[in-house]
Amino acid sequence: MRNLQINGERLWASLMELAQIGATQKGGVCRLAASDLDGEARRLFIRWCEEAGCTVTVDRIGNIFARRPGRNPDLPPVMTGSHLDTQPTGGKFDGAYGVMAGLEVVRSLNDLGYETEAPIELVAWTNEEGSRFSPAMVGSGAFTGVFTLDEALATRDNNAPDVTLGGELERIGFAGPAPVGSRPVAAYFEAHIEQGPILEAAGLPVGIVTGAQGQRWYEITVTGQEAHAGPTPMPRRHDALVGAARMIDAVNKIGHAHAPYACATVGFVQVSPNSRNTIPGRVFFTVDFRHPQDDVLTAMDRELRAACAEAAASQGLAAAVEEFWYFPPTPFDGRLVGRVREAAQAQGYPHQDIISGAGHDAVYMARVAPTAMIFVPCVGGISHNEIEDAKPEDLTAGANVLLNAVLESADAAGDRGA
């Protein structure tokens, strides 16, 4: 493993300059996908890439690829990047860090006069956030075949249903000519702020991301019988809310029972008729289960169904448990994860393995190419917030790990495969 270094001050300066595009009063960034500000950030990124000697290609869904040639032009590139769009009250680092860290890798290789065997490609994916246009991760999803191009282009603005992502990309000049998804990728690395509290609490600058959590989402409808709150004696009630309350408590207990990795959340409840002197006849609520292992998610599913059946029976209710969405756990590529870990060790950075709790473009890329991620801590574990912050030294550490992991793959491509 080589032990080269990026220029941390240049990385920080680029992040701060990029953050001025869409800067908010509270120190955050509002740069919604395919907005004028997104276009401005894209043009700045392209200018920087071209100044660094890269050849830029934009595909039909607006994904930007910037290629630094290698010795062997026939080899598929090692790709790294993230996204430039933000939440409406987003921060300076979510997404921007991965794109700027990749750019800093290329700039540092230029400084060193270092020629890799395989090409290196920087990428800025379109609409990762899914805030203006839902769902999230549309650019990488189209690239990897999760969405068809037509589906991706037809995605509608949540606040203006006649405005589509495709139309807005054309308007800002980023409905590119390149076909979507036709580029081979030898390996994909993505650096990102953790967006959670684990690394900061452990005092570690680098997290080796071994994969992303799987998710199971449910919609549960509990049906009892509406009745007057006064004349109906307690033993004769079929109170849907009492049943739902027991189910919600069970969801929380299931989360704790599969600690430390399980997450179990009820975030949406509707009570009907929602009247203070009527016994609730119907309750609708949602469940969000997450865990990195599929067999544990399956066990949580069993436990949820059993708990709902028991709670319903205890109150004389009916409970319908519908699975709404399933997203399997995504383990990252063992060899690439190993390279990230070795790069952290070679640089002397304390680190730990970590699972991504959020979705990232890397989760879709893992379907088509060997993939790994690098996390750096963010202050207070806070993200999707204007106060999102990160320490320059941690950002430098993550980019140094990215540089050496990318090099290991780009130089291995010729003989041992990426």
Return residues touching Zn ion (CB under 5 A).
94-95
Token match 């590119």: residue? Answer: 176
d(CA 141, CA 363): 9
CB of 153 to Zn ion, least distance (A): 22
Cα 366 to Cα 11, 245, 329, 361, 362, distances in angstroms: 26, 39, 11, 9, 6
β-bridge pairing 351-356 and 318-327: unpaired
Q: State which residue, 94 or 301, has the beta carbon closest to Zn ion.
A: 94
Residue 288 vs 361, nearer CB to Zn ion? 361
Q: Which residues contact 35 (CB under 8 A, 6 or more apart)?
A: 132, 168, 172
- Name the minimum Å distance from CB 190 to Zn ion: 9
Q: Show the tokens assigned to 377.
A: 């801590």
In this structure, what are the phi and psi dihedrals at residue 227, rounded to the nearest 5 degrees?
Answer: -160, 165
Shorter beta-carbon distance to Zn ion: residue 266 or 354: 354
Between 81 and 95, whose beta carbon lies closer to Zn ion?
Answer: 95
Q: Around Cβ 326, how many Cβ atoms within 10 Å?
A: 14
Hey, which bits of 194-340 come out as E strands? 206-212, 214-223, 227-228, 263-265, 269-272, 278-279, 282-291, 318-327, 330-331
CB of 335 to Zn ion, least distance (A): 24
Question: Across the strands, what pairs with 207?
Answer: 352, 375
Whether residue 133 contacts residue 156, with contact meaning beta carbons closer than 8 Å, is answered with yes
Distance (Å, rounded) from C-alpha 220 to C-alpha 287? 8
Task: State in angstroms the smallest separation of the CB of 321 from Zn ion.
Answer: 32
Structure tokens at 75: 């080899």
How far is it, in rounded angstroms, from Cα 75 to Cα 57? Answer: 18
173: which 2 tokens? 């000049």
Q: Which residue, 218 or 364, is less far from Zn ion as judged by CB?
A: 364
Least Cβ distance, residue 42 to Zn ion (angstroms): 16
- 95 versus 196: smaller Cβ distance to Zn ion: 95
User: In whole angstroms, how close is the CB of 82 to Zn ion at the nearest point?
Assistant: 6
Give whichever of 95 and 139 is closer to Zn ion, judged by the CB atom.
95
Shortest Cβ distance from residue 101 to Zn ion (Å)? 13
Closest chain position to Zn ion (CB): 95
Least Å from the CB of residue 35 to Zn ion: 17
Structure tokens at 418: 């990426």
Q: Which is nearer to Zn ion, 91 or 370 (CB)?
A: 91
* Residue 277 CB burial class (10 angstroms; 0-12, 13-18, ≥19): exposed
